[in-house]
Amino acid sequence: MILSKFVNELPIPPVLKPRRKDQFHTYYKVNMTEFKQSLHSELNDTKVWGYEGSYPGPTIEVESGEKVVIKWTNNLPAKHLLPVDYTVHGAHLDVPEVRTVVHVHGASVEPESDGYPEAWFTRGFKQVGPYFRKKVYQYDNNMQACTLWYHDHTLGITRLNIYAGLAGFYLIRDHRERLLNLPCGQYEIPLIIQDKSFNEDGSLFYPRQPEKPVPQLETSIVPEFFGDTILANGKVWPFLNVEPRKYRFRLLNGSNSRFYRFKLDSGQLIYQIGTDGGLMEYPIGMKEIILAPAERADVIIDFTNLEGKNIILKNDAPAPFPDGEPENVVDTVMEIRVTLPLLSIDTSVIPSYMKPFPKMSEQSASKERHLTLDEKTDKYGREIMLLDGKGWGAPITEYPKVGSTEVWYLINLTDDSHPIHIHLIHFQVLERRAFNVEIYKKERVIQYTGPLMPPVPQERGWKDTVNANPNEVTRIIMTFGPYTGLYVWHCHMLEHEDYEMMRPYIVIR
């Protein structure tokens, strides 16, 4: 099915209103339901899942330090919208088919409110997972201004729940950011980019089987999912009318497995001002920006003097990344039309300096961990991805001490890049370095074959998700805390996360 490009306007998700607010807390209630929504005007309305009747979910905006309480509730039907593979961990026939749990990605949260994959709950909390602790989640938001997002995290069906629509923005703001005079209000636009495919009747398509089907199974997980259309804020290939002035965009890759290499066909620079964890030290003018699943880039684009121009946001990232098939590339994201009259003089700025970014020193680390990213074959002959040779159910091996600093070596033994995300903390990328994979597999020693590669400019800030490339060791550094307890780390390609590329870890006292 071929859909026309740039025929629907980019929707902006509504900002969620709190139920109430007192001097101590701000209270929200967020309900998950199934409903129909138009994802493209040439398609019949599509059945999706969303938060508060909206896909993507409404944007939650909080102030740094604001104590927020959210009751997430599930009013979804008992039958899943998409094909469930019952052989995948956590999705066996002994649990209800539709389960949900919400994680605020990148937030520093107490473990009971972090959305642990086995803390799921069903409609009306009728049934709950073994790690379910509370109905009402608490967020202290003890972080600087940053671009976070919330999404489903249920063991074994995260890929399906997010693909069905369960994702939205969570923005933390602070005083320091406001002093910078960045484009704001209607000139600040969140952009969640996702790929999807559709059936003729407008319903969401998600494969029941991999390209090489598994004959023993009716439904099987696929190694990766790549859709043939790109959606921004829930519309396929939309357009956005802008004024000839500066705009701030919160770019989020909310796709299952697709990476993006964004570029403007006008050739103009995109000024990145923030990473996953907030503002960087200086803005960086970039011709292209690579975003792996779950990564964010806070950017400013200047349309001054471009009256009448149509600018296309393009993508040329291979799928899978970095060595995928050219036919999997979907090269168009959306169009920006500089058609609106300038309402008032643009006094916003691209600051020359934003805030200090103190580099963490390796001397402060008390522990190093060597952790491999592995690809194996399961008993059905399917690809299965593991972390450090272990699946979800293996005994916990990472017990960092609260307040301690560690360096993790992500040793990628597979052919693909994997965006590795660690809950609770933000980290810094130290560097990447090529190594000999064959020698490592035989002798478990790292023999480097290339020079140290410093983090790319777009990573010079706080990160919670890092792209670990094939044949490279990616080193990151972080301090664990302030909370103790049970969290997870995982690959954020959702088909990998759901098929064993996720591990629990515990921050201990």
Contact residue for ligand C2O among 103, 123, 235, 463 (CB under 6 A): 103
CA distances from 201 to 36, 47, 417 (A): 13, 11, 34
* Min separation Cβ 369 and ligand C2O, Å: 19
Return the residues of window 425-444 that contact ligand C2O according to CB under 6 A: none
By C-beta, is 387 or 488 nearer to ligand C2O?
Answer: 488
By a kind-dependent CB cut-off of 5 to 8 A, residue 294 interacts, out of Cu ion, ligand C2O, none, with: ligand C2O
Contact residue for ligand C2O among 145, 294, 330, 494 (CB under 6 A): 294
By C-beta, is 294 or 486 nearer to Cu ion?
Answer: 294
Question: What token pair was written down for 276?
Answer: 């996953």
- Phi, psi angles (nearest 5°) of residue 89: -50, 135
Return the residues of window 360-419 that contact ligand C2O according to CB under 6 A: none
Instruction: Answer whether 408's CB lies under 8 Å from 431's CB.
Output: no
Residues facing residue 334 across a β-bridge: 313
Instruction: Answer whether 250's CB lies under 8 Å from 189's CB.
Output: yes
Instruction: Answer whether 181's CB lies under 8 Å from 349's CB.
Output: yes
- Which of these ranges, 83-91, 174-182, 394-402, 488-496, lies near ligand C2O under the rule CB under 6 A? 488-496
Interface size with Cu ion, residues (CB under 5 A): 4
| Binding-site string for ligand C2O from residue 142 to residue 171, where x marks contact by CB under 6 A and - marks none | ---------x-x------------------
By C-beta, is 153 or 263 nearer to ligand C2O?
Answer: 153
* Min separation Cβ 309 and ligand C2O, Å: 35
Distance CA(201)–CA(495), nearest Å, equals 25
How many other β-carbons are positioned within 10 Å of the β-carbon of residue 164? 25
By C-beta, is 115 or 244 nearer to ligand C2O?
Answer: 115
Distance CA(252)–CA(78), nearest Å, equals 30
Residues facing residue 407 across a β-bridge: 368, 477
Beta pairing, strands 68-74 & 26-37:
parallel
By C-beta, is 288 or 375 nearer to Cu ion?
Answer: 375
Please, what is the end-to-end C-alpha distance for the chain in angstroms?
56
Q: Which candidate, 264, 328, 265, 257, places its Cα nearest to that of 293?
A: 257
Q: What b-and-e string marks burial along 416-453, b requiring 16 or more CB atoms within 10 Å of the CB?
A: bbbbbbbbbbbbbbbebbbbebeebeeeeeeeeeeeee
| Binding-site string for ligand C2O from residue 239 to residue 278, where x marks contact by CB under 6 A and - marks none | ----------------------------------------
Instruction: Answer whether 279's CB lies under 8 Å from 144's CB.
Output: yes
Interface size with ligand C2O, residues (CB under 6 A): 10
* Min separation Cβ 409 and Cu ion, Å: 17
By a kind-dependent CB cut-off of 5 to 8 A, residue 418 interacts, out of Cu ion, ligand C2O, none, with: Cu ion
By a kind-dependent CB cut-off of 5 to 8 A, residue 496 interacts, out of ligand C2O, Cu ion, none, with: Cu ion
By a kind-dependent CB cut-off of 5 to 8 A, residue 123 interacts, out of ligand C2O, Cu ion, none, with: none
Contact residue for ligand C2O among 421, 463, 475, 496 (CB under 6 A): 421
Distance CA(18)–CA(145), nearest Å, equals 19
By C-beta, is 153 or 258 nearer to ligand C2O?
Answer: 153
By a kind-dependent CB cut-off of 5 to 8 A, residue 235 interacts, out of ligand C2O, Cu ion, none, with: none
How many other β-carbons are positioned within 10 Å of the β-carbon of residue 185? 7
| Binding-site string for Cu ion from residue 402 to residue 421, where x marks contact by CB under 5 A and - marks none | ----------------x---
Contact residue for ligand C2O among 80, 263, 382, 423 (CB under 6 A): 423
Distance CA(303)–CA(155), nearest Å, equals 43
Instruction: Answer whether 289's CB lies under 8 Å from 316's CB.
Output: no
If one asks whether residue 463 binds ligand C2O (CB under 6 A), the answer comes out as no
Instruction: Answer whether 293's CB lies under 8 Å from 492's CB.
Output: yes
By C-beta, is 426 or 492 nearer to ligand C2O?
Answer: 492
By C-beta, is 46 or 275 nearer to ligand C2O?
Answer: 275
Question: By Cβ distance, which residue is nearest to ligand C2O?
Answer: 105
- Which of these ranges, 31-39, 71-79, 203-211, 486-494, lies near ligand C2O under the rule CB under 6 A? 486-494
* Min separation Cβ 435 and ligand C2O, Å: 27
CA distances from 180 to 191, 347, 351 (A): 21, 11, 7
Return the residues of window 476-505 that contact Cu ion according to CB under 5 A: 491, 493, 496
Beta pairing, strands 235-236 & 229-232:
antiparallel
Distance CA(385)–CA(390), nearest Å, equals 9
Q: Which amino acid is at 213?
A: P
- Which of these ranges, 211-219, 305-313, 408-416, 485-493, lies near ligand C2O under the rule CB under 6 A? 485-493
Asked if the peptide bond before residue 351 counts as cis, ω within 30 degrees of 0, the response is no
Question: What token pair was written down for 129?
Answer: 């997972």
Interaction site with ligand C2O (CB under 6 A):
103, 105, 151, 153, 294, 421, 423, 488, 490, 492
Interaction site with Cu ion (CB under 5 A):
418, 491, 493, 496
